[in-house]
A = this chain, B = another copy of it.
Amino acid sequence: MATPDQIREVVARYAKRLTAGSASDIADLYTADAVVEDPVGTPPHEGRDAIEKFYATVCQADLTAEHQGVRVAGDSAAFGLTVVAKAGDQTITVNPIDVMTFDSDGKITSMRAYWSQDDMTVE
């Protein structure tokens, strides 16, 4: 099992790569058969290719991401995330709670993002 320190490190790296990395950099944090459901209740993106494609869409905007209050439990982490996306003259802020699971090497095996329109502001 990944250690709590390993898990916290990957969560920090995830926020950093959302801010400054490519879709491929972000997808590299996941296992080959990982699953991303963002937001929870929408069709999941299964496997590295689908996940990279998902982040390629997300990363079309200029993103800044910060994580808060990481809780580690077993092979899992839950944390708040603030993502500010600038696209054109619009600034969209989304505040999900993300839940991730990890394999023994600290690769992300799943990510589920809990949020809705209620957790989003557009300016």
* Residues in A lying within 8 Å of B, measured CB to CB: 4, 39-42, 69, 71-80, 95-97, 99, 113-116, 118-119
- Copies of this chain assembled into the complex: 2
User: Contact: B116 with A97, CB < 8 Å?
Assistant: no
Determine which of B42, B74, B116 lies in contact with A4 in the assembled complex, contact meaning CB atoms within 8 Å. Answer: B116
Quick one: closest B residue to A77, CB to CB?
B114
Can you offer 10 A-B residue contacts whose CB atoms are under 8 A?
Answer: A39-B74, A40-B73, A41-B74, A41-B75, A71-B114, A71-B119, A73-B114, A76-B114, A78-B99, A99-B99
Give bound CA distance, A39 to B71, whole Å: 10
Give bound CA distance, A99 to B41, whole Å: 14
